[in-house]
Amino acid sequence: MAQDAFQEARALTQRGLEDYARGRFREAVLAWERVTQLAPGDARARSLLEFAHKRIKEREAQPVAHAHGATLESPIPGFLASLTAVETDEPTGGKFPEAPPDGEWAQISTRRVLAPEAEPSKNEQGPADTWKDLPVQVDNLQASARGLLDECRAALRDGRPDRAALAAEMALQLREQAHSPEVDGIVDSRLLLFERAFCACIGDMKSAPIRAIPSDALDAYGFDHRAAFLMSRMDGTMSVGDLLDVAGMPRFDALRLMSALRRAQVVDVVPI
């Protein structure tokens, strides 16, 4: 391939990735179709093109709206904070935050406590699995930890990786927020189980993750600079396994973050 054609193909590939991240799937298809014309042997462009066509068909059949700004997460930080909060004129009574009556909570694991303005609109479709029916008890944190472990194990056994990863994430958040040696011992004894859950949620380690939202939109989802770094390396060629190797953090933490990104639907995984 001539140098000029190579440079054009490379630029078109990157343009297609940016179009895809911004939801401009048809523009991404046009860019990657041009790449396959310039470089017929480019396996990456063919994989991206095939995946984009598949995604267009899926979205046309059942549109999935990313709720920018809706950083909906587990009730763990909120209810634990309520246990030690200074009394006010309107005490919480140790109850969970109420779920929106006409919507579902999204499967997004962030570090921020759910803000009142972050409720989903009535027209948004949320994932089927939510935290509302997970075994969390305000008055018995140890039982909550054991229940989440059992839920994670059962979900893995039943082939529900997203559910398993959600239970694992909530157990970890519980440990981090509870500051309880008993809860620490329960949760820390099952880190290998959680790692299995995160791997199952992510999928094939040989596949290539790509951004499904622009990098500058990450703040709206509650993700930090670590997620931004991972997403900056997603070029359609680097596999999940390779990405974990250059993540600059412990493997467990990288798996946990990748799982959260997948469940938040801010990255897609392309077979390569």
Q: Which of 183, 184, 179, 155 is nearest to 167 (CA)?
A: 155
Q: For helices 25-38 and 3-21, what crossing angle results, to 10°?
A: 160
Alpha carbon distance 83, 113 (integer Å):
14
pLDDT at 30: 92
Which DSSP symbol is given to 128? S
Least Cα distance to 162 among 204, 198, 190 occurs for: 198
Q: What are phi and psi of 210, to 5 degrees?
A: -135, 155
Side-chain half-sphere exposure of 62, counting CA atoms within 13 A? 3
User: Has residue 52 been placed in a domain?
Assistant: yes
pLDDT by residue for the chain (272 residues), tens digit each? 566 778 888 899 889 889 888 888 889 899 989 988 888 888 888 888 898 888 888 877 765 544 433 333 444 545 444 443 433 333 333 333 333 333 222 233 333 322 222 333 333 334 444 555 566 666 688 898 999 999 999 999 999 999 999 999 989 988 888 888 999 999 999 999 999 999 999 999 999 999 988 877 877 777 888 888 888 888 888 999 999 999 889 999 999 999 999 988 888 989 87
Domains held by the chain: number:
1
Stated pTM of the model: 0.70
Residue 50 lies in a domain: yes
Nearest to 150 by CA among 224, 158, 105, 39: 158
In a domain, 100, yes or no: no
The domain in which residue 54 lies consists of 3-61
Which residue do the tokens 């570090």 mark? 111
Tell me whether residue 179 is exposed, middle or buried, using C-beta atoms within 10 angstroms of its C-beta: 0 to 12, 13 to 18, 19 or more: exposed
**Cα separations (Å) of 108 from 86, 131, 266?**
28, 10, 10
Does residue 49 fall inside a structural domain? Answer: yes
The answer to whether residue 160 sits within a structural domain is no
Q: What is the structure's pLDDT at 202?
A: 93
Instruction: Confirm if 218 and 228 have CB atoms less than 8 A apart.
Output: yes
- Measured in degrees and rounded to the nearest 5, phi and psi for residue 208 equal -110, 120
* pLDDT at 80 (0 to 100): 47
Instruction: Decide: 54 and 210 in contact? Cβ < 8 Å.
Output: no
How high is the pLDDT of residue 255?
94
Q: What amino acid is encoded at 187 in this protein? A: V
- The candidate with the shortest Cα–Cα distance to 110, out of 180, 185, 172, is 172
Q: How far apart are CA 211 and CA 31, in angstroms?
A: 16
* Pick from 200, 170, 172: nearest CA to 188: 172
* pLDDT, position 235: 85
